[in-house]
Amino acid sequence: MSTKGKITGIISNLVMVECDGPVSQNEICFIIHSEVRLMAEVIRIGGKTAYVQVFETTRGLKTGTIVEFTGHMLEATLGPGILSKNFDGLMHDLDKMTGIFLQKGDYTPALEDDKLWKFKPLAKPGDEVLAGSWLGEVSENWIPHKIMVPFILKGTLTVTDVVSEGEYKINDTIAILTDSENQEHKVTMVQKWPVKIPIKAYKEKPRPFDFMETGIRVIDSLNPIVEGGTGFIPGPFGTGKTVLQHALSKQAEADMIVLAACGERANEVVEIFTEFPELDDPRSGRKLMERTTIVANTSNMPVAAREASVYTAMTISEYYRSMGLKVLLLADSTSRWAQALREMSNRMEELPGPDAFPMDLPAIISNFYARAGFVYLNNGKTGSVTFIGTVSPAGGNLKEPVTESTKKAARCFYALSQTRADSKRYPAIDAVDSYSKYLEYPEFLEFMKKNISPKWVDNIILAKNILIRGRETYEQINILGDDGVPINYHVIFWKSEVIDFVILQQDAFDKVDASTPIKRQRYMMDKVLEVYHTDFHFDSFEDVSPYFKKIINVFKQMNYSEFESDDFKKYENELQEIIQERKKEKAEIN
């Protein structure tokens, strides 16, 4: 018999329920209100009272209203048909809902029950399988979607029967498995999994080491991320977080994109829904949305639903990782999720931490980031979830609790600079303040030296040192004036500007410059460092700026030209001529 209860108190979307039986943490319940059922989740239990957060507006609710508990936690529905969908945090299909404003209790199924999928068996009777083993596959857009042994099953099972190749619906039985106690388990194409519990259907989860190419030079060339790694992008409003996420979605070396739109419930989400489906996928030549799933916090849902959005998105990512796919999960923005946690914590009168955030905020963020990673599956294949979140600190303060807590969890830190954004230097990532802790991992360093370039890491260190020296000399020139410092100071500054304009800055709207393959990045970095190592002669500081601006202009034309094309080589020759001019003058003087 299921547990029931009655409402005894209401504080916005936090509702206190007196229960007549046992309930569990994170259990889902429904509030029966005016003939509609409002979904809610248990977030704390005290005696016979359950504190539940309601995923709908609580306007009109009264004490004494009946609450029915379901006996299971908030679950994601996993199966064919997830790709190209727009879900809310509870995994209701938003495209099936009607009207400008969503109605209370208007819930839609995540997947299509009546659609036929062409199933191809991969397992055969007599095979021994584990949770997550592949039983067959269907084609979802152009991605092979594996039908797996349900994650909830334990131990080794034996395949008793598998249907033949043909068309089936997601709820049709496609296989029968027998466990060690001779109990039979019917398997369909769909399964459910609690979103707050990690999916661990893999053999091993080692420290990630494989370089993940993003096509964004300031990331790949100076602060690289790995496949299965974690990173975050903090920055003030208007510094280009959304455009940077679009660039990562289009260019990053990933099979599938999951976008958790858990940020502002107005302009940011609208921008994603309107612009994302129009983006072209350079990898396949089709629409990017064909390998993308969006999980959004809708305007009707209270802020607490932001938490459901990020966990549902992560569960979907883990599900596709179990198919041997490289998944890129982007969350915008986790600051809103943290603010939702703060709001619920305050309503429950918990002991506040810094800035009134929950005391356990660092642990919550760390546990979530830990779910990303690179894994070896039971069949020897590999899969990964690479997670990059954005943080919107109030006033651009990178010392606030959410940013500091995320720093402890994420391995890559991509700090967006208001100054760079104001001066139109995009992407506005501050290469000096940003970092990648993967450069400290011996496995990753060995991979980079072997597969990218033996001097790649040395070039990263050198380039950052050049940028630091350039910043220092710029400050001295500003204080003492152009003629108050030696000419060499101007040369140092402009050599750092060459790195800034050629490597750090990138045109996301140019067909060629939008994405730079790693081979081209390596070549251009060598060219830029060649300029740095060259000794130039100048008679006056007034000659320095125009000369280096000529060099930068030619470099930028190279960036806009197809790699190794005739135009590219023409600009490369022009660059060499400009460099030889100054080298020749010095040789003549000596």
DSSP string for 150-167: -TT--S-EEEEEEPPSEE
Element at 340 (helix H, strand E): helix 334-347
Q: Is 470 left (phi over 0), alpha (psi -120 to 50) or beta?
A: alpha
* C-beta neighbour count of 487 within 10 angstroms: 18
**Two tokens, residue 222:** 């100076």
Q: Is residue 412 within 8 Å of residue 435, measured between CB atoms?
A: yes
- For the CA atoms of the chain, what is the radius of gyration? 28
Return the H-helix or E-strand segment holding 355: none
DSSP state, 401? H
Interaxial angle between packed helices 456-480 and 442-451, expressed in degrees from 0 to 180 and rounded to the nearest 10: 100
Q: Residue 282: which of 86, 510, 452, 504 has the closest Cα? A: 510
**Distance, C-alpha 516 to centroid of its chain:** 20
Distance of alpha carbon 67 from alpha carbon 460, whole angstroms: 59
Class of domain 456-589: mainly alpha
566 contact partners, CB below 8 Å, separation of at least 6: none
Pairing state between β 166-168 and 326-331: unpaired
At residue 424's C-alpha, the angle toward residues 418 and 426, to 5°, is 85
Q: Domain 4-73 adopts which CATH fold?
A: Thrombin, subunit H (2.40.10)
Q: Could you tell me the residue ranges of all domains in the chain?
A: 4-73, 117-189, 211-448, 456-589
**CATH number at 211-448:** 3.40.50.300
Quick one: residue 240, left, alpha or beta (phi over 0 = left, psi -120 to 50 = alpha)?
left
The CA-CA-CA angle for residues 30, 35, 41, to 5°, reads: 15
Which CATH number does the domain 117-189 belong to among 3.40.50.150, 3.30.499.10, 3.40.190.10, 2.40.50.100?
A: 2.40.50.100
Same fold, 117-189 and 211-448: no
Collapsing DSSP to helix, strand or coil, 489 comes out as helix
d(CA 391, CA 395): 12
| Residue reference for tokens 């936090």 | 14
Q: What is the chain's pLDDT, residue by residue, as a tens digit (590 residues)? A: 689 999 999 998 899 999 999 999 999 999 998 889 999 999 999 999 999 999 888 889 999 999 999 999 999 999 999 999 999 888 989 888 877 667 777 888 999 999 999 999 999 999 999 999 999 999 998 899 999 999 999 999 999 999 999 999 999 999 999 999 999 999 999 999 999 999 999 999 999 999 999 999 999 999 999 999 999 999 888 888 888 888 898 899 999 999 998 865 555 666 677 777 777 787 777 888 889 999 987 655 666 677 889 999 999 999 999 999 999 999 988 888 898 889 889 988 888 999 999 999 999 999 999 999 999 999 999 999 999 999 988 877 889 999 999 999 999 999 999 999 999 999 999 999 999 999 999 999 999 999 999 999 999 999 999 999 999 999 999 999 999 999 999 999 999 999 999 999 999 889 999 999 999 999 999 999 999 999 998 999 999 999 999 999 999 999 999 999 999 999 999 999 999 988 755 445 54
Helices 241-251 and 267-275 pack at an angle, to 10 degrees, of: 30
